[in-house]
Structure 1
């Protein structure tokens, strides 16, 4: 069994809302390169090239009613539905990519 099965992120992309030195310092201390759009600068930082992946995933997950509007009071129940939704999204992608047996 691996001691650390989850590999640390090498790069983290973030929008202007996370532009602060404490955020950058924390990421660097963990060996992660922060790529954060700076506040009070023009658009065109290039983060949109990576952000669409996150936005697309959120759109897929919002196709499930229980994830679009949170009805559960308990976080563990909501997390279970979130994991189920992620599993169904991955299954759908796999089903479309993989040729039939």
Structure 2
């Protein structure tokens, strides 16, 4: 199974673009900060991840407030067929009151 759920804020976001088939896509960078427990030790975790929203959700995503925390759901895939880097494909998101 390839499903990822992540609480993050939108650090930066590009304008809506369209594929040759006319599908709207919005690319962005998400910023995650949280405290996780590993080997019984608290660890601060911070990272940015490349993300994109395609299709119907792209309109809502393009209007979402920058810097505000959301709970994103989606999956990971290669940036393109020949790439080793990953992109988080957002399939849904909701406002999150969590401060992490």
Decide which structure has the larger Cα Rg and report it: 1
User: Normalising by the residue count of structure 2, what TM-score does the alignment of the two structures yield?
Assistant: 0.20
The structure that is strand-richer by fraction is 2
Larger RCO, structure (CA 8 Å, separation 6 or more)? 2
